[in-house]
Amino acid sequence: MITIKDIAKEAQVSEGTVDRVLHNRGGVSKRTEAKIKDILKKHNYSINPVASALASKNKYTIAVLIPEHSDSDIFWKSPYMGILKASNEFNSFGIQVTVYRFDQYDSSSYTSKFKSMLQSNPSMALIVPLFINETKFMITELEDSNIPYVFMNIDLEGFNNIAFTGQDAYTAGYIAAKLMHSGGQSDAKYLIVYSEHNLTVNNTVLRRIKGFKDYFESQELYDAPLSLRVDDFSHMDATADTVNTFLSDHPSIHGIFVPSSRINRIVDCIDPLVLKKYKLIGFDNTPPNIACLENETVSFLISQKPFDQGYESIQLMADYLIKKKIPHGKIYLPIDILTKENVRYNDRNALQFEVEHL
């Protein structure tokens, strides 16, 4: 007898995608949906009512609190797609995932979406704890309601989250410094560029900066990296003035490190002829960053596997709810060093899933 796995293999999609089509839950492109329905019809496939009844016995809800993405700041699209893929796959096991997306630049949006999430009384919560002070208040309410929770992407200490999924940010920053210093001149100076928003709310960025600085200290290099704060990467004219003035005043700088996904913004600020002087290293394989890597304005990108962060977070929570499997405290994902030559081979499963759902 043909199975959902067989249908998925023939259609070259995930089993979760087939399941969504079978149960008319949407979230699948019309082209992919038509392809799957043709295969289902060809094999005269019908839903097994016994299996459906068994799946409906236990229902669990996972609430996700994650920043929204936009065309100008696309990073959070990848973890969202990973969450969607896992949601598709575990829905047939009685796991329902609801996503609450907030404005990452607005703490009131964060707390408002949390309140909506809490009112849904979820079985578990997955949170990107972007605003630390607000998170302290929120977590108290979760714990008072006996709702277990997992942190994703940003690792905060002093909480009772059952797990963290994301990158070892300190080690990633240390690796970035090692790449930056490799083959460099003995008198070269290096610059860290960050935004005020990242530094005040994002613990991941802080840990990357510390790792970057600690590398140079461990090598007993007397010239520590320089630091430059910009108000907001989205304000291009102001950012360009700040960056170019600083570089002009410090001609010995040979490398620029951006500990966030906005390295492409720095590239856009600097004249292409001047840009050739610098080695640039940033984070995350967003489309704008990949373009910079491929045209060699950026030397390296460090991927924190955002799609996998979303997928594995839901997977470990589903295992916790269904199998009562206790996760390890910190689930660190691989630190991938991306170059012009290998970037197109990175996260191919994520790209395929995204194509299916556009």
Q: What is the pLDDT of residue 59?
A: 86
Q: Is the pLDDT of residue 8 over 50?
A: yes
**Of 49-53, 189-193, 261-265, which gets the smallest average pLDDT?**
49-53
CA distance 94 to 279: 49
**Of 161-175, 222-236, 264-278, which gets the smallest average pLDDT?**
222-236
Q: Judge if 117 and 181 occupy the same domain.
A: no
Q: Judge if 160 and 247 occupy the same domain.
A: no
Q: What is the pLDDT of residue 183?
A: 73
Looking at the structure of the chain, the number of domains it has is: 3
What is the separation of C-alpha 62 from the centre of its chain, rounded to a whole number of angstroms? 18
Average pLDDT, the chain: 87
Q: Judge if 269 and 194 occupy the same domain.
A: yes
CA distance 318 to 313: 9
Give a yes or no: residue 237 inside a domain.
Answer: yes
Q: Could you tell me the two tokens for 92?
A: 């047939």
Put the strands of the sheet holding 330-332 in their side by side order: 95-102, 60-67, 124-127, 149-152, 163-166, 330-332
CA distance 203 to 127: 14
Q: Which residue has the tokens 């689930």?
A: 331
- The residue segments making up the domain with residue 274 are 169-303
Q: Judge if 270 and 152 occupy the same domain.
A: no
CA distance 355 to 28: 9
Q: What is the mean pLDDT of residues 83-94?
A: 89
Q: What is the pLDDT of residue 268?
A: 94
Q: Judge if 232 and 151 occupy the same domain.
A: no
175 contacts 337 by C-beta, under 8 angstroms: yes
Q: What is the pLDDT of residue 316?
A: 95
pTM of the model: 0.79
CA distance 2 to 8: 11
Q: Judge if 98 and 65 occupy the same domain.
A: yes
CATH number for the domain including 46?
Answer: 1.10.260.40
Q: How confident is the model at residue 28 (pLDDT cuts 50, 70, 90)?
A: confident
Give a yes or no: residue 339 inside a domain.
Answer: no
Q: How confident is the model at residue 54 (pLDDT cuts 50, 70, 90)?
A: very low
Q: What is the mean pLDDT of residues 143-161?
A: 93
CA distance 198 to 193: 11
**Of 149-153, 262-266, 353-357, which gets the smallest average pLDDT?**
353-357
